[in-house]
Structure 1
Amino acid sequence: MKNCKQYLLLLLIAICATGSLQAQEEEKRPEFLVVTTMHWNMDQEDYDFDDWKALEKEYLDKVVMKNELIAGASFFMHQFTEDNSELLYVQVFNSWNDIHAAAERSNELAKEAWPDEEARNAFFKKQGAFYSMQHSDEIYATMDGAKALSEMPTKDMTLYLQKRHFAFPEDGSMKEWEELNKAYQENIVHKNEYIKGYYPNRHYYGADRTEFLEAFYVDSLTDLDKMLDRLGELPEEAWPDEASRKEMGEKMSKYYTGIHSDYIYTYVSGLSK
């Protein structure tokens, strides 16, 4: 993954506010992501991936797919992160009120799916046995500039997440940020053929108010390497003059701290809404 650090520095972070970067006719996007970091129950001896997937598929079909307040939901499994026991469950909501209301609606749908209380409790006990009690939640606000997946994936994909942090420069402005970010997204992110999906998100409720989260969907680890290479090539195509590239990089860099972390997950096909 050569040139990763050098060229990903060109990715502009956003000031902690929702900017209008696209034309008003852009289709309205969901407003919030709830990212739950869960952990496998490492003490379970009879763990079977197919059994886990079948249980989650049953819950997806009977509850999540019927819950009109959940705009989307997906599972992502550890591939290259600091903790091999973790997996992410990401839910998408159209509004803040939907987050709480969706939980109540899911409880109603579960009772409809398993009207017998004993059977319902047995299902959730079996489902819950796959996970430890440890989990954490972060809520992110979605941002403009996404490169949406053209369709729901029918196979597992590689998800590359990069977390960086806002710097809040005194000499910065929303106008400058909007212009730089729009130029970068149009010329680099959207023209990178290896990026099948790109979703920028900012902190809304959680531990770190400076956090900026970018999600890149690619077909494989091999394509991730190619994606990073293209991130190095496309700036030269968009701004052939070296001085112009340097000027843009300097302007963009003041909007973030320069500290970032990287994570690679596997998108689990067949368990998404």
Structure 2
Amino acid sequence: MKTTNRLFTAIMATLLLLNTTAILAQDEASQGPEYVTMTTMHWNMEMKDFKMDEWKAIEKEFLDKVTKNNEHIMAAGFYLHNMTPDNSELIYVQAFKNWNAIDLASKRNNELSKEAWPEEADRKAFFKKQNAYYSPMHSDEIYATIPSAKSLAEVKEGMIVYLRTSHFAFPEDGSNEEFMETFKEYTENVTHKNEYIKAYYPMNHAYGSDKTQFVEAYFLDSLADMEKMFDKDDELFNEHWKDEEAKKEMNEIGDKYFTGLHGDAVYSVVPELRK
């Protein structure tokens, strides 16, 4: 089965949940964000005069006047439904240097909004126009980032994000040392060497509805590259772990740490709405 080898990242990440903060602190070389927020929103399906270009223009105005000027937000972007159970959903993602920055960013957004639209009437009018595109229903999750990410070098038109959500089994005999060593070995020899994976961001639950979640975001140039990515993962895995006994040990670790439940989704990147 093609998914066996590439799921090893999710399998070993269970160990990280034992002490996420300690592991992140050990990664002194990392200059990236420690936390990522994901807000799952929904389009206002009753909006009769919906125009994608107009929505992009409104969000681009907010991006240029507020988000890009907010020093507490390291990165931000919208991801639209491509292959998910709900065609009304879109995800807004923001990255933060630390936990405190999440609260500071919200306060700073309010300040920047007042600077961008000094007149209260103008400000209310803009947000009314912006909010008209969305349903009141939304959900929020906060994830802790994990070392060994593969950073995105260039955003291209037509890019997608393959989002995989796995679940952990919480073994009593897990260890941070085992996770750090094995996860690093896997990502460096498989994920980072896979030319179809333009970026890879692993995250685990920090605050939200399900503490067992482990989320992997793979950035690809196109939907057509997904199958190529899976095939290349298998090829690289077999190149690095040539010994059959070693491969068997990996599968046994999977049975121990990974529940076997996972969900897959594909979102389209919106290049013009990224910080």
Equivalent residue runs for 1:44-55 within 5 Å: 44-55=47-58
The one-letter code sitting in structure 2 at the alignment partner of 1:72 is A
Q: Does structure 2 conserve the Cα–Cα contact (< 8 Å) formed by 1:40 and 1:132?
A: yes
**For residues 24 and 145 of structure 1, what CA distance do their matches in structure 2 show?**
9
**For residues 86 and 133 of structure 1, what CA distance do their matches in structure 2 show?**
12
**For residues 162 and 89 of structure 1, what CA distance do their matches in structure 2 show?**
17
- Identity within the alignment, %: 52
CA 1:21–1:113 in structure 2 vs 1: closer, same or farther (change >3 Å)? closer
Cα deviation code 1:114-169 (max 9, x no counterpart): 11111111111111100000000000011101011123x14231100111112111
Q: Does residue 72 of structure 2 align to residue 69 of structure 1?
A: yes
CA 1:185–1:22 in structure 2 vs 1: closer, same or farther (change >3 Å)? farther
**For residues 168 and 133 of structure 2, what CA distance do their matches in structure 1 show?**
36
Q: Which residue of 2 aligns with 1:8?
A: 6
Q: Does residue 91 of structure 2 align to residue 88 of structure 1?
A: yes
Shift of 1:91: 0.7
Q: Does structure 2 conserve the Cα–Cα contact (< 8 Å) formed by 1:13 and 1:164?
A: no
Q: Which residue of 1 aligns with 2:119?
A: 116
Q: Which residue of 1 aligns with 2:245?
A: 243
Q: Which residue of 2 aligns with 1:174?
A: 176
Q: Does residue 132 of structure 2 align to residue 129 of structure 1?
A: yes
Name the structure where helix makes up a greater proportion of residues.
2
Q: Does structure 2 conserve the Cα–Cα contact (< 8 Å) formed by 1:75 and 1:267?
A: yes
Task: Tell which deviates more after alignment, 35-44 or 182-191.
Answer: 182-191
Cα deviation code 1:173-199 (max 9, x no counterpart): 222222221211111111111100000
**For residues 228 and 200 of structure 1, what CA distance do their matches in structure 2 show?**
17
Q: Does residue 218 of structure 2 align to residue 216 of structure 1?
A: yes
Q: Does structure 2 conserve the Cα–Cα contact (< 8 Å) formed by 1:72 and 1:92?
A: yes
**For residues 29 and 197 of structure 2, what CA distance do their matches in structure 1 show?**
20
RMSD of aligned alpha carbons: 1.7
**For residues 13 and 163 of structure 1, what CA distance do their matches in structure 2 show?**
12
**For residues 116 and 180 of structure 2, what CA distance do their matches in structure 1 show?**
47
Query: TM-score when scaled to structure 2?
Result: 0.93
**For residues 158 and 235 of structure 1, what CA distance do their matches in structure 2 show?**
24
**For residues 21 and 255 of structure 1, what CA distance do their matches in structure 2 show?**
20
Q: Which residue of 2 aligns with 1:163?
A: 165
The one-letter code sitting in structure 1 at the alignment partner of 2:270 is V
Q: Does structure 1 conserve the Cα–Cα contact (< 8 Å) formed by 2:14 and 2:169?
A: no
**For residues 71 and 21 of structure 1, what CA distance do their matches in structure 2 show?**
17
CA 1:108–1:29 in structure 2 vs 1: closer, same or farther (change >3 Å)? same
User: What are structure 1's unaligned runs of at least 5 residues?
Assistant: none
Equivalent residue runs for 1:141-152 within 5 Å: 141-151=144-154
Query: TM-score when scaled to structure 1?
Result: 0.94
Shift of 1:24: 4.9
Q: Which residue of 2 aligns with 1:200?
A: 202
